[in-house]
Amino acid sequence: MAGKTNGAAKAQADTEEVVSEVSKQVNELGRQARKTADDAKGEAVKGLNSVAETIRREVRESDADESAIKNADKLAANLEKAANYLNTNTIDDIKDDAEKIVEENTLKIIIVALIVGILIGLILRGGRR
């Protein structure tokens, strides 16, 4: 009977070791995924700020009228606002905000997705009937 007990104890120890190793690997994958997401978020922030700066500069260099400058500034400000949001929120915060928006606007999102799907279908179909 002692042999069975030792065998069971060894099997349990082996199982615990495998579970521990798998847990470490999952944690490492999670850490790597979070780092990749954070790096991508940082690049997005840089890109948004760069585009905002370019819009402002280009509209002024093109001698655009006051209305175009005002609209360009508004667009640039919204891009900077998006960059600031990304810069000041964690990936988890962003995920939570996205889930909240989807929960609050499910019907609107479904309707927009349906319309976009129909438009893409029409475009891909082209003139063929």
The tens digit of pLDDT for each residue in 30-73 reads 888 888 888 999 999 999 999 999 999 999 999 889 999 999 99
What pLDDT does residue 129 have? 58
Measure the CA–CA gap between 81 and 87, rounded to whole angstroms.
10
Neighbours of 37 (CB within 10 A): 14
- Each residue's pLDDT tens digit, 25-37: 888 888 888 888 8
This model's pTM is above 0.75: no
Measure the CA–CA gap between 106 and 74, rounded to whole angstroms.
28
- Helix-strand-coil split of the chain, %, nearest 5: 90, 0, 10
What pLDDT does residue 75 have? 95
Q: Are the CB atoms for 43 and 86 separated by under 8 Å?
A: no
What pLDDT does residue 42 have? 92
Q: Which two tokens stand for residue 35?
A: 């780092």
